[in-house]
Amino acid sequence: MGALDDRPPFTLLHALVHRHRIILAIAGLACLAAGALSVLLPKTYEATAIIYLDTARTATDFDAGIAAGDLLQHDFIVSANSRPTLQEACNSPDFNCSPSDLVAPETTIGKLVSASVYRGTSELAVSAKGRTPQDAAALANAVAQAVIDQDAEEVIRLYQPAKDNLNKQLAQLASEMDAEQKALAASPQGSSAAAAHEAALTRLQNAYTLTTTRLMDLSQRQDRLTNVATIVQRALPPSKPESPNPLLYVGAALVAGLCVGIFIALLIERFDDRIFSAEGLARAAAIPPAFVTHDVQWLLFPKTKRAYSRALANMLARSPDLPHAVLVVAASARDHSDPVAGGLGAVAASAGQRVTVMEFDGHSADAAGKFSQVAGVTTIPMPEALSQSPAGVSRLQGLQGLTDGEFVLMSVPSPDVSPAALALGRSVKHSIIVATDGVTHFGDARRTADLLRESGVDVLAGILVKS
């Protein structure tokens, strides 16, 4: 808690608004870097070939067709990046592979190829990337055809043992039928031996017919499976590169830059102890809400006078009897109290009060043109030597011959610069602290307020000057 008490109040919105230049600068740099990358990086083109899978040829019903289609799609997707498929693609006359591609194509061109289900249908999209549109299209078409060829070869390989077995059975049955025919020819007609050979020959002929039917069915099934996939849309050379994509790069860089910028802005705001708001000055000096003087050069209706009026009203609310004199104290060596004392004096004079402004700070030129020549206000620049003498400042009222009906404003520098504020505090018991937006540090304002209170001076209000 102690560390948080030593810093101005911290809110997310205030940090983002206050540090918006940092956020915008980082986001802008990120976008510039992304734009440069989109220009400098080599262009990559992507082409896609579409394969249609006719799973109805292999299924006996609808559910079986769906299951078979899912399994077949998975097999084709895996096959697209396998070494046999890629090696066969390298043998395509339209696509040239390097020697390293032929040795281990899955580590080279395999990284340029991808396969996926096309829009949730029974089709597959085989995509390939290349340095030129022609290379991308040639690789996609070569891989798509190789996938189909590899699947057909796998089907043939799986069915070949069964076909070989049936062919072997047919050869054996044909041999046995030939032997039975020879035996039947050698047997006397009408004999029991001839009848037996005729029965055996009929049985062998039936077995031969059944085996031939099974072989034909197996061949037809093999033909259906080897033709289940066809290329319905060949890949065409793309008209524009797939990457780098300037819009995508800049969009991603903008989001990343904003995130990084916000983080850095919050980090800076967290560790920056300068005062940027009236709430920060109020917390530092342990006073009621402070008042802000706006930049009168940029506003059509200046609010500076209003801030001084509220500061005096706050002082009167806390001290019903108008103090005879008030110290206007700079919060740090970087702050100047003379302009604020002049503004407060002008407001008091406009209410009919006779005002004397004693300028100890030595920066009255900063207020020139704003509150000069105000009726009822007497400005007395104090000699530097006198203002630095504690004994001298304690006798200033008597030296100037001020009357009891006058309202005296004494603008003094920070205690870090001069002991005038603490010396005047022996006779003047009310003060207003002056800080500058973005200049005064939280600890300086707190230290000045604590020193004034320890000297017996009550801090009635605070004014934050917009630089």
- Whether 101 is covered by a domain: the verdict is yes
- Whether 238 is covered by a domain: the verdict is no
- The answer on 50 and 32 residing in a single domain is no
On average, the pLDDT of the chain sits at: 82
* Residue with the larger pLDDT of the pair 281 and 316: 281
Q: What is the per-residue pLDDT across 383-409, written as a single tens digit (0 to 9) for each?
A: 654 445 444 445 454 444 455 567 888
Average pLDDT, integer, range 5-14: 69
- Whether 285 is covered by a domain: the verdict is yes
Which pair of structure tokens corresponds to residue 148?
């189909």
- Whether 59 is covered by a domain: the verdict is yes
The tally of domains found in the chain comes to: 3
- Whether 239 is covered by a domain: the verdict is no
- The answer on 452 and 332 residing in a single domain is yes
- The answer on 182 and 82 residing in a single domain is yes
Query: pLDDT value at position 102?
Result: 82
Which of 80-89, 184-193, 283-292, 399-408 has the weakest average pLDDT?
Answer: 399-408
- The answer on 103 and 249 residing in a single domain is no
**Residue 155 clears pLDDT 60, i.e. is over it:** yes
| Domain of residue 125, CATH code | 3.30.1890
* Residue with the larger pLDDT of the pair 291 and 211: 211
- The answer on 288 and 226 residing in a single domain is no
Query: pLDDT value at position 32?
Result: 95
- The answer on 451 and 370 residing in a single domain is yes
| Domain of residue 379, CATH code | 3.40.50.300
**Residue 65 clears pLDDT 80, i.e. is over it:** no
Assign 366 a pLDDT band (cuts: 50, 70, 90).
Answer: very low
- The answer on 461 and 444 residing in a single domain is yes
- The answer on 79 and 61 residing in a single domain is yes
- The answer on 200 and 264 residing in a single domain is no
Structural domain span for residue 295:
278-465
- Whether 346 is covered by a domain: the verdict is yes
- The answer on 284 and 158 residing in a single domain is no
- Whether 110 is covered by a domain: the verdict is yes
- The answer on 267 and 283 residing in a single domain is no
Which of 63-67, 342-346, 386-390 has the weakest average pLDDT?
Answer: 386-390
**Residue 9 clears pLDDT 90, i.e. is over it:** no
- The answer on 301 and 401 residing in a single domain is yes
- Whether 435 is covered by a domain: the verdict is yes
Query: pLDDT value at position 323?
Result: 62
Q: What percentage of residues in the chain have a pLDDT greater than 90? A: 31
Which of 50-64, 180-194, 306-320 has the weakest average pLDDT?
Answer: 50-64
Average pLDDT, integer, range 293-320: 61
Assign 34 a pLDDT band (cuts: 50, 70, 90).
Answer: very high
Average pLDDT, integer, range 213-235: 90
